Structure 1
């Protein structure tokens, strides 16, 4: 008996002998533990790849290595995806939202490990992208496949998927509250109070994994934060507005750069070479762009911003405060370029960490700029931290996650008021210009952003193929009225499709339209069906979306519509059968 079967036997016994609710609670512990270990493995992999790089004959002191390392990491990632995953990786939170709404929360099994490997290689060798999105995908895949293995329904499978994502975020930042809020704000926008318990359990277990296993230099945290005073309030309002506009810039720049790479979609290695070469050149000019960028944030927070410019060609100009300020401002603007080039080139990563990088540099830039004009007026470390929340809130459309994440990684709630103020103002401003987050914008444009609308989500789950009714009695167009009367006598429906010998629908007969004439026996052999038929108000193709079908019902006022495969007649779909199926799915998916 294999190890896997030995592992499953106790859980199968529990599945049979416990209630669904209790089994979900037990499952949330196991999913949280597994996702937490995956996050630990990913952070450790990246850490030691970078340790190996930095201590191998001090290669990073030579500028050309900054081009070659990211290029090697991205090309290796592209090779792995092409050869071992058939070119199908499925990147980012948007992919998980797509799977929740269109694939019944079923995530491919390889995503339980493929994102750890590919994102670890990408970021470890200097790719300028974050690890949080890959760990969200990994945790979601773990939760989804756990639910599949133990035959949980859509509702519980989706909940475990979110539990895995929450545990992953909690483990990466050692921030369980942020993990729970991320799952609620981004993945589950319509949940009940009962869903909080499994999410909390998974997030806590995931956070404990990282706290117990990971070393302190791998975890991202800050031990000292300056106090907030009311006199700083106008400057924090200014920071919120600044972060809002910068978030709009971030979101739009990502999509513009992605569009530039679209012509190379079928030339993956050429695209990888071009993107990684651009990334490498950017890193040569701005070394802090190498990797995730958390070390740069720590330098800003610890008042060591001068170290950022070291190794850059701009260092030859000496220690000039205004030059350093300009360098930091440019970093905030071009991080999005470096990140998008990394991902568009074929590397694996996300925009979670880059948005925090941009926020930290934007917050520091604003505080240092004001302090250069009025020395000592603003706490630059606090502005660095709060700026992260502002951009994260604006780019991800997750203000609660942003607020509590920064509160947790700073070890307290000293900055809660400015965190809430900056996050809320940035989010409100971004929402005016960009109704959807960076990850969901393209899904929304395609009409595939369904988890944020339960009605559309349920309609998307429903398939026409499962609702086709075939008991309608067809009749040929050359048949006579007498033939039609005989068909009517042997049918319990009041609608009759007129179908040719080639199975093409040429019209329909409604009982109410022939009720009077069907009793005129003198016309039984002379009047043909094709003279009595009418055209259906609309037709439905077998692969139409249910949203399109319902739109046709609303526009025509019909109760039944014929379903076609091209020109071939398949049957009818009725509004009543759709409503019945809808009610069943609504009960099934409610209270996630």
Structure 2
């Protein structure tokens, strides 16, 4: 298991590198070239800036062929991945690594408002599943290899091995694991981080200041903050699911929804371009206090 964890970790780190470079290529081809062609600035207002509303919609158009030919690969999202891992034996097909990865890269590269941790966790987890099936593993051992791959992908994405470990154990394995499993996940996460730093440099997606507790009573405020954030998170999830159900209930051609969704994001991006892409740059600004409450509420 240790040797497999090392290999899966390295492949997960490589998968993150290729995924990120694909996003950058799509962003350069669609967004950067469009901004240069039409002399659009996201820093200063101009009439031409109205055109940015079409950039995420272009992404929606580009993923239509994937929905036509590989709809089965794209359905379910990360929640579907968790169902397959925990309820269906963790036997994941390999093709979605390319189809889902490409679809996510196109969406993110053209300004679609989404995170890249979900797709890369699925990519890494699928790599782990493929190795497990190749070595005739099943049950809990196969799930652990999937968790190793997911941990590797997340760790490489954020340059944070501990984050990858906790993501895999708490989210992918649903807190059900043994010490031996934990060791394999730690190794995979660490190897992915090492390779990612070698390929991309020792930089972090999220930059946060160093926090120092100045008073013992601050602990109470942190506890209160945790309660507030937990409530907001629950409310956000509920709102997301309600909106998702409403959109799915709308009688529109299935292939039109990615385009319309991209157009909606683009319209918001005219005024608040921070909504474009994965949002990590903006979240870093939030962590250092460079934000406004109205912008946070909109996002």
Same-fold status (TM-score > 0.5): yes
Residue 34 of structure 2 is aligned to residue 30 of structure 1:
no
Cα distance in 1 for partners of 2:65, 2:250 equals: 16
CA contact (8 A) 1:63 1:284 kept: yes
Aligned to 1:69: 55
**Residue 129 of structure 1: SS of its match in structure 2?**
coil
1:244 aligns with 2:234: no
Which residue pairs with 2:45 in the alignment?
Answer: none
When Rg is computed on C-alpha atoms for both structures, the one with the higher figure is 1
**Does the 8 Å CA contact 2:67/2:74 hold for their aligned counterparts?**
yes
Measured after TM superposition, the shift of residue 263 of structure 1 is 2.5
- More strand as a share of residues: 1
Counterpart CA distance in 2 for 1:169 and 1:80 is: 25
CA distance in 2, matches of 1:298, 1:190: 32
The answer to whether the Cα contact below 8 Å between 1:36 and 1:168 also exists between their aligned partners in 2 is: yes
- The whole-number CA distance in structure 1 between the counterparts of 2:208 and 2:247 is 41
1:161: which partner in 2? 146
Contact 1:70/1:127, CA 8 A, preserved across alignment? yes
- 1:45 maps to which of 22, 26, 44: 22
2:40 to 56, 59, 65: 59
Cα 1:86–1:59 change in 2 (3 A) is same
**Shift in alpha-carbon separation, 1:122–1:236, aligned structure 2, 3 A:** same
Summarize deviations over 1:410-447 as a string: whole Å, max 9, x none: xxxxxxxxxxxxxxxxxxxxxxxxxxxxxxxxxxxxxx
Distance 2:41 2:258 in 1: 22
SS of residue paired to 1:251: helix
Distance 2:113 2:271 in 1: 14
Q: Quick one: structure 1 residues 81 and 288, their matched pair in 2 at CA, closer, same or farther if it must change by over 3 Å?
A: same
Deviations 1:507-547 (A, max 9, x none): xxxxxxxxxxxxxxxxxxxxxxxxxxxxxxxxxxxxxxxxx
Question: 1:492-571, aligned counterparts within 5 Å?
Answer: none
Structure 1 runs of 4+ with >6 Å offset: none
Displacement, 1:141? 0.7
**Distance in 2 between the 1:256 and 1:207 partners?**
37
The answer to whether residue 115 in structure 2 is matched with residue 138 in structure 1 is no
Q: Distance in 2 between matches of 1:66 and 1:135?
A: 27
SS in 2 for 1:64: helix
Question: 1:118 maps to what in 2?
Answer: 103
Map 1:86-101 → 2, pairs under 5 A = 86-101=71-86
Residues of 1 paired with 2:96 and 2:12: CA distance? 12
Q: If each structure's helix is expressed as a fraction of its own residues, which one has the higher value?
A: 2
Q: Which residues in structure 2 correspond to 1:240-389 (within 5 Å)?
A: 240-264=226-250, 267-305=253-291, 325-331=292-298, 335=299
Matches of 2:208 and 2:271, distance apart in 1: 31
- Displacement after TM superposition at 1:44 (Å): 2.4
Change (3 A) 1:204 1:264: same
> Hey, what's the Cα distance between the residues in 2 that align with 1:265 and 1:100?
32
Q: CA deviation at 1:27?
A: 1.3
**Structure 2 CA distance for aligned equivalents of residues 101 and 136 of structure 1:** 15
Q: Could you tell me whether the CA contact under 8 Å between 2:159 and 2:202 is conserved in 1?
A: no
Work out whether residues 264 and 270 of structure 1, in 8 Å CA contact, stay in contact via their aligned partners in 2.
Answer: no
1:102: Cα distance to partner?
A: 3.7
- Please give the TM-score of this superposition, normalised by the length of structure 1: 0.46
**Residue-pair matches, total:** 288
**Counterpart pick for 1:206 among 192, 198, 201:** 192
Matches within 5 A, 1:457-468: none
Say if 2:73 and 2:96, in contact at 8 Å, map to a contact too: no
- Structure 1 residues 74, 169: closer, same or farther in 2, change over 3 A? same
Larger deviation: 130-139 or 265-274? 265-274
1:136, distance to aligned residue in structure 2 (A):
0.9
Partner of 1:106: 91
TM-score (norm 2): 0.87
Is contact 1:28-1:163 (8 Å) kept?
yes
Shift of residue 303 of structure 1? 5.0
